[in-house]
Amino acid sequence: MSEGNPVVELAKRRGFFLQSAGAYGGVSGFYTFGPEGAALKQNIEDTWRERFTIQEGNMEVDAPTVMPEPVFEASGHLDGFDDMLVECPECGDSHRADHVVEDNTDIEDAESMAIERVEEIVAEYELTCPTCGAGLAGQAIQQFNLMFETNIGPGSSSPGYLRPETAQGIFVEFPQLAEYARNQLPFGVTQIGRAYRNEISPRKSLLRVREFTQAELELFIDPEEDEPDLESVEDVTAPFYPVSEQEAEDGELIETTVGEVFEDGIVDDPWIAYYLGIAKRWYESIGVDMDRFRFRQHLPGELAHYAADCWDAEAEVDGDWIELAGFAYRGDYDLSKHAAHSDEEFTIFKQYDEPITVERPTVDPDMSYLGPEFGGDAAAVADALDSLAERDPDAFRDAQADDGVVRVEVEGQEYTVPIEKVGFEIEEVTESGEHITPHVVEPSLGIDRALYTVLDHSYREDEVDGETRRVLELPPEVAPRTVGVFPLMDRDGLAERAREIVDRLRDAGLAVTYDDSGAIGRRYRRQDEVGTPFCVTVDYETLGEGDDPSLEGTVTVRERDTTEQRRVAISGLSETLTALRDGAITFDDL
């Protein structure tokens, strides 16, 4: 992934990705996908959509990348994404100031404190640099927010942020999305889109960037009722790296099935297990090497505070394990947050099997009395009576026996209401169900990292007659183009015939490239480098002018990985290539 890496060199040279705005010196952490990369990325997204949206019966949305500030107040990103950095005056190292405080004092949750307060604490406790031990008192703490900030409309009265994850765009629309799902759990909502994080130090090519594409599924479930179809993935095998192995001296990967890890309690939640199985199949299908892939459980310290359990999909790239995806059980954290901060309900009405009858204390205050008596506070008094009835119905019974008045407190002031003006009753009501806040299961994937991993894992170098042959062994389904069409030579009508074939194949919906420049071998090599799985060559036999007249109307189809060739009739060529691309047949079936 670093400079001098042959995969990065190839990616730049052949148009997979390049650093953006190079004409202006470049900008760190932003990449442009070139023609090959954009096609590859689109194909990867299409297969994800097929697997996680269509096959799962979920619905896809497309939310804005800019959201107003309250959304991120509710989600916790406004505070949680704010880092406090303090720089050591001696050694120059920067550290998280809140971590320094929490690690060296009894103070907890320094993260949520004001900057000034943390500065005071650092001075009070005479805290020192974790690296060199120099005193940090008096050092200014710098605020660094990972979110890109902007303004919505003129002026700065309406701040907005570029979303740091796509998920919030789904959560905030939950009330309407539940309606679209006819208020039936479970339902899943997917989104593929850009997210933005103003990283301090982007590194390692496409693996750590400031703008990236996420593919996320938010599955809303009833935690008491809904279960995944685990049977459909129980035989999927994958390497698992649970906490116990990570903490062991000689911990190792456990190669086993999804069914087993769930049975053994290694993966606690059935939904997480289910999506690990789905995701493993998908990563394999797009060309991630399963010998360099694993599912790693989050260590206790890594877990977000609301997450019961979390697993990452990881791939080995250049000797490092990088995170490709996270699978988290988020509980009702997200929906509860938005319910608390917004004016909407983020619940689903869940019907009981049988309606139940309950006794419920109610009040129906006489507003024609309360109004004149309490003026502007009348409504608040009525509310207070209402909640008192729910909380402590005995207060009303006592009032009847006692002095005949009910006492409530509104903003510190006591009000007394005659019991006969309260309208207190114990009602028998029939309830057919209750409002529940669904729990969220979230598989969240990084598309750019998947793309980079696929490039890295599919790259191969062969020696052929002393020459290096570079090949991207991309699965046909995701390759930027499915087929290259060449005339054996650019004369004698071969090129014209080849162009006719290009048109036919494109009409059939295939991604085709045409090339008649230079020797045929060079053209094969060009396609090898960008991962085109098949090449079609028009030769003299095609025209009926070769040694074997029976081959008229046929072309050679060459397979990238073996460089073997088979003759195929032009009449069935588009069907054959489509079947090869979709995996309906293999090259050996020809």
b/e map 372-394, b = 16+ CB within 10 Å: ebbeeebebbbebbbebbeeebe
Name residues contacting RNA, limited to 491-510 (CB under 7 A): 491
The stretch among 35-43, 368-376, 474-482, 518-526 that binds RNA (CB under 7 A) is 518-526
Interaction between residue 330 and RNA (CB under 7 A): no
* Subset of 387-446 contacting RNA (CB under 7 A): none
Do the beta carbons of residue 442 and residue 171 sit within 8 Å? no
- Smallest separation (angstroms) from RNA to the CB of 557: 9
Among 45, 56, 69, 165, binds RNA (CB under 7 A): 165
Q: Does 112 help bind RNA (rule: CB under 7 A)?
A: no
Q: Which residues of 111-132 are buried (b: 16+ CB within 10 A; e: fewer)?
A: bebeeeebbebbeebebbbeee
- Our CB check for RNA shows the closer of 81 and 374 to be 81
Shortest separation between residue 75's beta carbon and RNA, angstroms: 8
Q: Which of 54, 248, 299, 304 binds RNA (CB under 7 A)?
A: 304
Nearest to 6 by CA among 375, 331, 318, 346: 318
The distance of closest approach from Cβ of residue 211 to RNA in the complex, given in angstroms and rounded to an integer, is 13
- The reply on whether position 465 binds RNA by CB under 7 A is yes
Residue spans of beta strands (DSSP E) within 306-404: 310-317, 320-331, 348-362
The Cα 424–Cα 157 span in angstroms is 47
Within 9-28, which residues bind RNA (CB under 7 A)?
Answer: 9, 12-13, 19, 25-28
CA 580 to chain CA mean position, Å:
30
Please, are residues 76 and 337 in contact by the beta-carbon 8 Å criterion?
yes
| Residue 285 in the binding site for RNA (CB under 7 A) | no
Residue 377 DSSP code: G
Nearer to RNA, 286 or 568 (CB): 568
Taking CB under 7 A as the binding criterion, the range among 78-86, 263-271, 382-390, 578-586 that sits at the site for RNA is 78-86
Own/partner pairs, 242-248, CB within 8 angstroms, 24+ separation: 242/266, 242/297, 243/297, 243/298, 243/299, 243/300, 246/296, 246/297, 246/299, 247/299
Q: Do 350 and 417 meet the contact criterion of CB atoms below 8 Å apart?
A: no
Which residues from 190-209 bind RNA, rule CB under 7 A?
197, 199-205, 208
**Total interface residues for RNA by CB under 7 A:** 71
Three-state DSSP at 275 gives helix
Figure out which of the listed residues 36, 83, 269, 314 binds RNA, where binding follows CB under 7 A: 83
Choices 3-11, 59-67, 397-405, 473-481 (CB under 7 A): range interacting with RNA: 3-11
73 binds RNA (CB under 7 A): no
The reply on whether position 229 binds RNA by CB under 7 A is no
**Near RNA by CB under 7 A: residue from 225, 490, 503, 582:** 490
Q: Per CB under 7 A, does 517 bind RNA?
A: yes
CA dihedral 457, 463, 464, 465 (to 10 degrees): 170
For RNA, the closer CB: 110 or 185: 110
By CB under 7 A, tell whether 93 contacts RNA: yes
Structure tokens that stand for 492 in this block: 């004698």
- Residue 157 touches RNA, criterion: CB under 7 A: no
